[in-house]
Structure 1
Amino acid sequence: MVIKTLPVPSTKPPGNNPLASKRRPLHSLSASCPPDNRLEQHHLPDAADLRRMCIITKTDLNRIYDNLDRRQRDKDAVRQEIERKKEMADRSAQITKQWPNTIIGARERKIEMKKIRDQEDEDKRKVVDLEEEKLAAERRREHIEKAKQLQYYQTDRVRTFHSALLFTEVLKERDLQLEMKKRIEKMRETDENEEHQRYQEAQNEFYKAEQEKMERKLKDQENLAKYHRAQMDQRKSQFVQEKQQDLKEGDEYRRLAEQYSLEQFELDRFKKLTQKDVKSMYDKALEDKRTVKQMEEALDEEEDDELRVYAEAKKKMARLRREKEVQAHQEKQEARDHMIGYLGSLQKRAESDNDAQIFRAQAQREAKELREKQEKFEKQQKMQESIRKHRFETTKRREVEREMEEREDVEIRRKKAEADRLFLLYQQEKDKQRHEDALVTSQYHLKQAQERKDRQRDMKASELEEVLLDKHMNEVEKQQYQDYTGRVIAYMDENGRNTYPMRRAVADEVQRFDQLNQGINKAESQTNENGEKKPGSQDKKSLEETKKHLGFQWDIPNK
């Protein structure tokens, strides 16, 4: 048996306490630990409270420990299983690694074979690339040679030679054209004879054709005359027929005119009868109109009587209106007279009040003038007092300012003397520094003069090298030019061209080469003479002149 001490249970009801619901299963784990609800206390010999103790078996305790360590045991079991499977997989891989009849082995063989094929392809590509590179280099060399050749062709002397070559071709073309011209003239003479013969034959044929044409024309004229005579006969017969037709139509027109005149007479007679009827109807209408007018006049007379009555009533109303207006005017006049009398009485009363107001105003004005005089006197007294005070303060301030100015003058003279002393020291230091700078500058200028002489010597040497190089290049160009022109002239001679312009151009260019070589030799000799000249008194004199030109008018001490 194992004894465990438990915490004191809470006296609160377990309904709202979540811990109580968690503790309840712990009490239910042991059947031998019923809750003790007795009020008396029982203590063990070691003063332990039995109500705070619970007795459980070893099985229950082991089960509790198992429940607590179950998660860790599960993790350990899973890890051990993973390690076991991994170890088995590694062992299996080691065993099957060398087997040739497995999928992995076949894959490895394929990979190895693919690597071998890739390596062979790479070697082939390298060989092809090397060949292509050689071919590209050869093409590049050809292009460079072609570019050099084109560039050589663009030089002045080669262009001059090509101009002579073109002139040679032109001469050859001119000879060919002259020969062609002679052939053409010969052919033209032959053609003229043949043409004259053909012209004679054509002329004879033309005369024959013209004669046949005249004969056909005469026949056509005879046929036309016959046709015209037939037409004249036809027109005569047609004229007779038309004349007879006109006579018939004239008779018909005359008959129709007589019929029209008869119908017109009947129509006029009918119009006259109709006019009489219209006149009678018009007279009747006028009679009716006069009757209506008489009736309207009677009605107008009746209306005039009514209007006269209305006019009399209107006049009466106007008379009454005028009487009312006169009465209203009289009433207004009476009211105006009453108002004028009232205003007159008010004016008289106001005049009596004005006298009293004038007296009061005079008294007030006199009092005001007296008060203003008193204020003016007091103001003048205050102003005089302030003027005296200001004069005293101004005098005192001027004395103080004069004393301050005297002290400032003394201080300024002292500072000026100190500044003059410092300026004198500064000028002395400046003169000393200027002298040192002049020494440094003179040394630097001498060094520059020596460096200039060295540069001139180097330039002369480089000029000599350039002259020699130009001479060599001139010889090479001359030889190259002669080779090229010789081959071209030989080819033209073989083809029967006139090579005189080309030989003339080559001779001129060779002469220019010789002149250029003479100039180069002359420049070389001058350069050698200048380079072999030894330094002497002239150099010393030039150095002294250089010093003077640089502004060194004083003697430089030798240290």
Structure 2
Amino acid sequence: MDAAARPAALYGRRKGQRREPAPANGLEENDIPDIIFFPNGVDLRQVTVLPKAEWVRIRDSVDSAAREAARILAEKKERKDMHLRSKAVVKNWPNTIAGQAQRKLKARKLREEKEEEERKQLDLEEAQFQAAKRKEAIEQAKTYQYYQNERVKRLHKALLLAEVLKERDAQTEFKKTKPDIYKKKEEEMEREREKAILKEQEKAHERYMNRQALCRDHLEQIKEHKHQAELDKLQAKKEGEEIQRLTKLYELEVERENEKKLEEKLELRRLHQEHVADQDILKVVQKQKQEDDDDKIQAHFKAKQNMAKLRREKEAEMNRLMQEQRDNITNHLAALMKQTFEGIDERVARDMAEKEAEWEKERKEKEEKKKAELKSIAEHRAAVIKMKEEREKEARLQGKERLHELMETDRIYLEMEKEKKLRKRNENIKMQNIQIQQMAEKRAREQHEKQVELDYESQKEIIAICKEQEFQEYAKQIIDSESKTAQNIYPLLKAVKEGVGGGHGPVYRERGGIRPSYQARDVNGTQLPSYNCNTTQEIKKINTNSSIPEAKARLGFTW
């Protein structure tokens, strides 16, 4: 419904009353009455219209608690914001306890960072030193491992044997030149002893001077430490005095803050007491107003009772007058009936005819109404039948659509099954291809492993050749150095002989260039000699004759 059709109430006057013209000095915009629309069915005579000032007063009295709470929250928020701003301002001041502590912490952090950098540098130097030690240890281990090789051991044994032979030759020569050597040796020892005595005296004097210098350094350090301790004590004393001064300032600030808080509490208490007094006054006024309203209601109720009593009395009076008038009318009618008794039959007949005409008219109207109802029933039945046919037709269409949907679903299912079978077939083909690829990869991997093994064997042969060349170079250096001083270098030449194993047999190139050794079949199991003797000739003769088992036993074969 449109707002213009609703009943409206204007603040300050009833509907239908004329508003007085505005005064000559004009009216403010806020004094223009507001318009409120009420729903339909509201009796405006039962609506209480209040002035705007009264309405504002009631609203303020109702919302005073919420506004007071909002004001208190705003004051708390303002104090908190002021406290945070004060903390932000004081945070970077250097002359406060917190600032000094922050400065000390910063200095300590810088000192720790510097110490950490020094420790990192020391750790780096230590890591480099340890890496060098590890490298040296690895080199020593490689050298030791190389020296533990069997051929190198035999070479060193041969070198030792060559050294022994050389020493034996030297001792033989020494026996011939022994007296002259001892005399020269004693003179040389005497010169060395005098040199050692002079050197020892120089070292003692140098140690004495170093001790004197060290003592002077220690005395200087002790004086410096004492002076530094006195400076630290003075600094600590100054810091203590500064802390005491700042503590007193802090206590004064705290005392001022407490006094300020106490004044605020007293002010809040006074305001609260005033508010409570205002609330009590407001309650008394409301109670007085309620009593006035009750008096008005009671006066209104009494007036209504009086009006009801007067209305009952007036109704009784009117009933009495009506009864008197009814009696007069009855008497008058009796007189009239006596006067008009003769024309009653005619009037009765006329009335009966009129009644019959009215009855006939009512009967015709009823029949027409019945026909109209039957017609409306037939039309309704036809509409219902038509609606039923349309519903059946719609149901058949829906059934056809459902059948088409089922057929489409079956078709989609069959296509999905076909796709599934095709996908499965493709997966099988893909799996076969993967298996074939895996077989090919396996074959290629086996070939690659064989090739790797062959490469490994070839690398082993190359490494063995390189080791052999290295050993031959090392042995050549030793032999060259020994050949300059020693006369008998046959043990070295024998140890340098090609072939690993140290045997007397042939060198097997296909087995890494080893030279196997054969043991004799006796208790010691010593190696067979490489020279021919009478026994070898005898074995040859036995082989030429017939005794092969004896020859096998002599050679050490066990099969």
How does the TM-score come out when normalised to structure 1?
0.28
Higher relative contact order (Cα pairs below 8 Å, separated by 6+ residues): 1
How does the TM-score come out when normalised to structure 2?
0.28
Query: Rg: which structure is higher?
Result: 1
